Amino acid sequence: DTGVSQDPRHKITKRGQNVTFRCDPISEHNRLYWYRQTLGQGPEFLTYFQNEAQLEKSRLLSDRFSAERPKGSFSTLEIQRTEQGDSAMYLCASRQSRGKQETQYFGPGTRLLVL
């Protein structure tokens, strides 16, 4: 069990640029979640996948955001035409969906700064 990993850990970009983040979940976990955490706030749910299917998206996820999990393993989160308000920590989590294995394991996050 190597844990959830995220890449990059930090990203600085200029307003209007596109960015893409990657999340590698724990290998046997079929559910994967993305959250966004702004300074001084708790994480807010963005979207989740069961295997390769994206089953729910938050209203926070504007049209500029897209997430994929093409083979049911790693996931990417892309933000197009970034805005300063997108500056936040983006957290990925994974878990199993069998039984009562309800624990979500979080990665270290990708901190995005939009200048």
Partner 1 sequence: AQSVTQLGSHVSVSEGALVLLRCNYSSSVPPYLFWYVQYPNQGLQLLLKYTSAATLVKGINGFEAEFKKSETSFHLTKPSAHMSDAAEYFCAVSFNAGGTSYGKLTFGQGTILTVHP
Interface residues with partner 1 (CB under 8 A) are: 4, 31, 33, 35, 40-45, 48, 56, 91, 93, 95, 97, 100, 102-109, 111
Q: Measuring CA to CA, which residue among 104, 74, 107 is closest to residue 92?
A: 107
CB of 58 to partner 1, least distance (A): 9
We find the least distance from the C-beta atom of residue 41 to partner 1, in angstroms, to be 6
| Rounded CA separation 103/86 (Å) | 27
Task: Select 79 or 92, whichever has its Cβ closest to partner 1.
Answer: 92
**Cβ at position 46, least distance to partner 1 in Å:** 10
DSSP 9-45: SEEEE-TT--EEEEEE--TT--EEEEEEE-TTS--EE
In the bound state with partner 1, the residue whose beta carbon lies nearer, of 42 and 70, is 42
State which amino acid sits at residue 38.
Answer: T
